[in-house]
Every structure is written in C-alpha cells, then in structure tokens.
Amino acid sequence: MEQTYAIGIDIGGTNTDIGLVRSDGTCIARTNLPTQSYSDIEAYADDVADVIRKILSDNGINEIVGVGIGAPNGNYYTGTIDYAPNLPFKGRIFLQELIRSRMDTKVVLTNDANAAAFGEKIYGGARGLTDFILITLGTGVGSGIFVNGQMVYGHDGFAGELGHAILYPDGRACSCGRSGCLEAYASARGIVQTYKELCQENGIAAPADITCRDITQRADSGDELAIDTWRRTALCLGIALSNAVTFSSPQAIFLMGGPVKAGHWLLDPLKQYFDEYLLTIFKGKADIRRSELPENDAAVLGAAALVYE
C-alpha cells in the first residue's frame, strides 16, 4: 500500500515537538521549538509553519494528508487552545486557523490525551478496534475514549476526563479543587504522595524529591512500602477502569506514560483488581494493555494520527 505522510505537533509547556510521520507509524524527522520563549502567538505560528516547510523540503515530501495538533486544553470543535495554564499564550487561542492560514492543508487540533488515543488507533495497538479507552498517566491522568469507532468529544469537546472521575467522595484533595479524583491517586504526584504517606505512617523518612522511577527502583530492591504503593495505585486504577467499562464496554484499555514503567509492580495487581471489581457480564472481555506506541514519539504520532479521522 502506498505510504502517505502527516505532520504531528505536540505542544508542551517547555517544547513544541514537530514530526513528519509516515502512514506506517514511523516518525521520519523531528524537530522542536521552545514554546516558553514565545509570547506572541502570530510569531509562534510563523515559526511552526516555517519548521514544517523545512522538514517537508529536507525530506523531499511534496504532499501531506494534513497537520495534527495535540495541545493541553485543546478543543476539537473550536480548533482552539482554551486558557491552558502551562502555556505562555493566554486566553483562547485560535491555533487551528492560525496554522491553516499559513499552510493551506487540513489542520486538526484536539487535546493531548485524545490525540494519544488517535495515535493508538491509527498506528498502535488499537488498530481495528471500535471501542477502547486510552489512559495517560503523568503529571495528571488523561483519557481518550473511542465508542462505535469514533472519538467521544461530548457536546462541548471536553469529554474523556476520566482522571477526574471521583473515586473516593471524601478522599484526597485533587489539583482540580475537588476530592478523591482518580488523578489524586494515579498521577505521578499522587503515587509519590501515597509512598510518602506510607513512609510517614511507618516512621520512615522519604526523600522530598522522590519520583515514580525511584519508587520502582525501591520496589525492585524489596522495599515493601514501594511495592505497596504500586499495589494501592493499582487498586485505585482497577476500580476506576472497571467503572469505565460499565459506561462503554471497551475491547481494551491502553495505558501510557511514565508510571507504566513500573511494569509488573503496577500491572500485575492492576489486572487482578480490575478483574475483581468488574461487573460479572464484563469479566474476561476487556484487556488492560500497555500502549504500543514508541514512548518518545507517542505524542507526535498521536497528533499526526488526527488527520486520518
């Protein structure tokens, strides 16, 4: 089958990654711009368009299917980035239109977790699946949901916020201002908090700057509190994902992001709790899997995948 090409743009608070992606899921070329150094959105759009033209020219590509953009607080319906706290551009930014006016090609914009789900569907483990959920574990907990082969955007473009489903109504404070959300337990920060709380309960001092990676290393070294941290994280995720299944009965749930590198410490108890908490009619029907996208390119691939909708 003849290959086609797409540009994927992943906008982060620090860097904007821009990649040229072949339809077999290979990221052929990649470069980045320092997002934080821009305060003027027009100058930013100019430079993004210049970088795209240079990548295409350097690689001898004359035709692309389009440009996909994944951004925090990106809204598919409006093509805007709305009040993203970690970006230098304030208010509502009409980025889709700003890029389209400079490139004369299809431009699609959505939020980063939705883009990741598109990446999994077009290039990864969700190829051929109509109903699946992708969960991104990182600073926050994001999600992208496919139902009937279509992304669930909701009527306003903001659907798929499973990180803010409330798990324990009187639980731990969440960054969203409420209590007991999945994100308060299963984000990198939540996982670190669980470990620190367990250390405190056991009269042990935990380093202030400890990370999820450190907790995995400690689990590998036999630290029972680290092992228990991953088990407790798995319990929260297992309940939340079994609840998600009652909603859309997906064929698979994919996990992506740093904490997934805990590997069996997280995944073994997760699969066990997920099965334990699943409603009987759903047991054995939905798999929990790791994302099949290469970690470093996942965000750019997700953004590029948007143009194949």
Does 85 interact with a copy of itself (rule: CB under 8 A)? no
In the complex, what is the shortest distance from the CB of residue 92 to a copy of itself, in angstroms, rounded to a whole number?
Answer: 13
Q: Interaction with a copy of itself in 97-136: which residues (CB under 8 A)? A: 129-131
Does 94 interact with a copy of itself (rule: CB under 8 A)? no
Tell me the site size for a copy of itself, rule CB under 8 A.
43
Does 32 interact with a copy of itself (rule: CB under 8 A)? no
Q: Interaction with a copy of itself in 152-171: which residues (CB under 8 A)? A: 152-162, 164-169
Binding window for a copy of itself (CB under 8 A); candidates: 2-10, 191-199, 238-246, 259-267: 238-246
Among 15, 249, 261, 309, binds a copy of itself (CB under 8 A): 249
Does 239 interact with a copy of itself (rule: CB under 8 A)? yes
Binding window for a copy of itself (CB under 8 A); candidates: 12-20, 101-109, 246-254, 261-269: 246-254
In the complex, what is the shortest distance from the CB of residue 246 to a copy of itself, in angstroms, rounded to a whole number?
Answer: 4
Does 87 interact with a copy of itself (rule: CB under 8 A)? no
Distances (CA, A) of 58 to 29, 82, 301: 9, 33, 19
Among 91, 200, 224, 247, binds a copy of itself (CB under 8 A): 247
Does 184 interact with a copy of itself (rule: CB under 8 A)? no
Q: Which C-beta is closer to a copy of itself: that of 64 or that of 182?
A: 182
Interaction site with a copy of itself (CB under 8 A)? 129-131, 145, 147-148, 150, 152-162, 164-169, 176-178, 239, 242-244, 246-251, 277, 279-282, 285
